[in-house]
Amino acid sequence: MSTPQDRIAVECPSCSPAEPTVHEVLKEGSGHHTVRCTECGHVHKVRIETETEIERDVVVSQDGESFSTSVDAPPEETIAVGEEFIVDSEEAIMLVRITGIEVGPEQRTEEATIEDVDTIWTRAVDNVTVKVTVNPKEGTGDRESTRSFELQLPGDHEFVVGETESFGDEEFDVKAIQVRQDAPEYRHGKLDHEGDMVYAKDVKRLYGTDKTTSAWSAW
């Protein structure tokens, strides 16, 4: 005898192909159930969509500020620090990178399954702020003098050691790049060999040699 839990509402290809009707579950299968329509008695198979995702809290950091949102993911999925995913929140749709995984009060780990996670800590990486420090070029100022500024750039902008970058009134040769700790794909923390490339989203600080003629006129 069927119980209420053995009944589901699905379309019947015989008598109601467009609207769900009550069906009895005759046999449960992996992803498909055998059911019988209570209206016409037709027996057929249906695909049963089970709940495969759970909600987890996400904290997104961007330019010193942060906001909270949530994400749905399969409970068995494994996540790790350094991985990236899309967050669709009220604030914006953005690409973020995992910077921390909280699995309990003041307990963090580098890797965990979604079902064990309490909060995912992230930072936005689709549009980022890059901190730049440049030295004056030879013969135009005090060698010990430096100046710093910030650039707003897409996260996938490429910086290459030895190449010249121009942004508005700023022009400089890239001398070295300090890499963020949450960017494990690079060989070490500071890259200074000609040809070394780092994406803007992975830059902790960029070091350069100034190429403008007026930036150091006050020195």
Place of tokens 């709940």: 51
Task: Kindly tell me if the per-residue pLDDT of 217 is higher than 50.
Answer: no
pLDDT of residue 57: 95
Q: Is residue 217 part of a domain?
A: no
- Using an 8 Å Cβ cutoff, are 202 and 186 in contact? yes
* C-alpha–C-alpha distance, residues 2 and 38, integer Å: 11
The answer on 62 and 113 residing in a single domain is yes
What does DSSP assign to residue 52? -
The answer on 107 and 161 residing in a single domain is no
The answer on 67 and 16 residing in a single domain is no
The answer on 76 and 26 residing in a single domain is no
pLDDT of residue 99: 94
The answer on 68 and 41 residing in a single domain is no
Total domains present in the chain: 3
Domain boundary among 125, 147, 181: 125
Q: Is residue 40 part of a domain?
A: yes
- Using an 8 Å Cβ cutoff, are 83 and 111 in contact? no
The answer on 61 and 99 residing in a single domain is yes
Q: Is residue 2 part of a domain?
A: no
Task: Kindly tell me if the per-residue pLDDT of 64 is higher than 90.
Answer: no
pLDDT digits (tens, 9 = 90+) for 74-110: 899 999 999 999 998 877 889 999 999 999 888 999 9
* C-alpha–C-alpha distance, residues 104 and 119, integer Å: 9
Q: Is residue 216 part of a domain?
A: no
pLDDT of residue 2: 37
Instruction: Write out the residue range of the structural domain in which residue 192 sits.
Output: 128-210
10 Å Cβ neighbour count for 140?
A: 17
pTM of model > 0.75: no
The answer on 160 and 103 residing in a single domain is no
The answer on 58 and 91 residing in a single domain is yes
* C-alpha–C-alpha distance, residues 199 and 157, integer Å: 6
Q: Is residue 148 part of a domain?
A: yes
The answer on 204 and 171 residing in a single domain is yes
The answer on 63 and 27 residing in a single domain is no
pLDDT of residue 4: 40
Q: Is residue 219 part of a domain?
A: no
pLDDT digits (tens, 9 = 90+) for 114-156: 999 999 999 999 999 999 999 987 655 565 678 899 999 999 9
CA angle at 157 for the pair 198 and 144, rounded to the nearest 5°: 60
- Using an 8 Å Cβ cutoff, are 112 and 101 in contact? yes
Q: Is residue 215 part of a domain?
A: no
Q: Is residue 61 part of a domain?
A: yes
The answer on 170 and 134 residing in a single domain is yes
* C-alpha–C-alpha distance, residues 51 and 74, integer Å: 9
Which is higher by pLDDT, 203 or 140?
Answer: 203
The percent of residues in the chain predicted with pLDDT above 90, rounded, is 60
* C-alpha–C-alpha distance, residues 215 and 16, integer Å: 76
The answer on 150 and 206 residing in a single domain is yes
